[in-house]
Structure 1
């Protein structure tokens, strides 16, 4: 049971780091019904049940601010910054 708790804690920590990394970055959301939308990740609630997105580009047009339900999201992608230190 302790190993399971450690695993859950590690997954939660990684998830929270990904949320912090995504803040104010362009994110591609893959939704159910084979829909893809693009927007700027702003924040999410504690659970997280909803994600606040700015300048959401949808097939129907652009929405200034929108709440996406996490139950509608299959995955999201954030581009990593390029490392120019070579």
Structure 2
């Protein structure tokens, strides 16, 4: 039996699985973004400093995408209203 006939279905299945996954893109300052709807934003917890956050969003065509970007973490005790917390 020829091995290429056994590997062909596996190759096709893996290609289809990879096509369904969102490819993570790294944000570069000034790059144009096509964000229609933000699905979620996540970042490491309990870290004070600059972290890599990940935003999952839908573009104007309805395609779900992921974007990694750098931001100051929320774990430093500074609240969104500018106040300090966690003993700072």
Structure with the larger strand share: 1
TM over 0.5: no
By percentage of residues, which structure has more helix?
Answer: 1
TM bracket (short chain): under 0.3
Tell which structure's C-alpha radius of gyration is larger.
2
Q: TM-score, normalised by structure 2?
A: 0.26
